[in-house]
Copies of this chain bind each other. A is one copy, B any other.
């Protein structure tokens, strides 16, 4: 309701502000008996962590996770699981200058209009820092998926106008931008550094593939799998659009093409092009789930801009500090986490009726 809860059975509540003492989450509905250690979670936190490469923010947070409950002798107990990450870098004084200013492209004014409160410490709850809690929760979901042979992989398909032309899932973690093609990755890094040197930032496109997903997940009519995934993805700050399979291209296809050709593959019916992106009528079909998201350029740039004051006037602003010149590399694990949360939940929902 108030928006910090995600999921129906596999249900996460996250908390924490950018410059408060800690961030974290509690997960209810994790099935008992699942093997889980802090290492499982830390691995993904490290992929999201600031300061990991030349093209991410230099703000340095170790982001060490602690499991507070729900695990006993290395296995989940079926009770609620709490994960805690202390904020190591709480220099909120850096933000005192922003106390009465709404930064352009940020949610500062929106939060103020909604809550009547101005938490100026680095965006407070609206900071991308909250996504660390998502990644932690998602890592637990991923463990549940792994047991079932399901794999969620996201990658940077495009940065600005550079787009990967081939997809090699094995190279994603071999390059700083998490692109699925090394040549494109190199170009992307170049573009990002260039923008960074001008104090500017770049947007991009993230593509996600889910492999091994069984047929039957998703709950029509309102909680179709694509509807839930869209909810999840669009809840990530900076995401401005999402499309499945052929996506916006379907608008220009005739039905005779879009219906896709059927074929039998190892005794199993499949389509030739997977135009539907692995989801039919809101239900997973057993084919790979594929979707793409538009990621806007980072709002925090060091170029001088016009901002607004809390009293309703315009003013000039130059944002200092340590910001990501392109969000894509660090959003990749967040996207995977959110997709994993949706799928883990959809599995439990499907189990409940059979």
Chain B residue with Cβ nearest A250: B296
A234 within 8 A of B: yes
Known: A77-B115, A161-B252, A252-B160. A307 touches B231 (CB 8 A): no
Expressed in whole angstroms, the Cα–Cα distance for A256 and B318 within the complex equals 12
Expressed in whole angstroms, the Cα–Cα distance for A259 and B252 within the complex equals 31
Expressed in whole angstroms, the Cα–Cα distance for A255 and B305 within the complex equals 11
Chain B residues closer than 8 Å to A352, beta-carbon distance: 1, 9, 29, 348-349, 351-352
Q: In the complex, are the beta carbons of B240 and A32 less than 8 A apart? A: no
A281 within 8 A of B: yes
How many monomers of this chain does the complex have?
4
Q: In the complex, are the beta carbons of B1 and A219 less than 8 A apart? A: yes
Expressed in whole angstroms, the Cα–Cα distance for A102 and B305 within the complex equals 57
A200 within 8 A of B: yes
Q: In the complex, are the beta carbons of B3 and A28 less than 8 A apart? A: yes
Chain B residues closer than 8 Å to A353, beta-carbon distance: 2, 9, 29, 31-32, 78, 348, 351
Q: In the complex, are the beta carbons of A15 and B126 less than 8 A apart? A: no
Q: In the complex, are the beta carbons of B2 and A251 less than 8 A apart? A: no
Expressed in whole angstroms, the Cα–Cα distance for A256 and B302 within the complex equals 9
A167 within 8 A of B: no
Chain B residue with Cβ nearest A67: B21
A110 within 8 A of B: yes
A138 within 8 A of B: no
Q: CB < 8 Å: which of B15, B78, B229, B263 contacts A81? A: B15
Chain B residues closer than 8 Å to A3, beta-carbon distance: 28, 218-224, 282
Q: Which residues of A come within 8 Å of B, CB atoms?
A: 1-6, 8-9, 11, 13-17, 20-26, 28-33, 66-70, 72, 75, 77-82, 84, 102, 104-107, 109-111, 113-117, 119, 121, 124-126, 130, 158, 160-161, 195, 200-205, 215-224, 226-235, 237, 240-256, 258-264, 267-269, 276-277, 280-286, 294-301, 303, 305-308, 312-314, 348-354
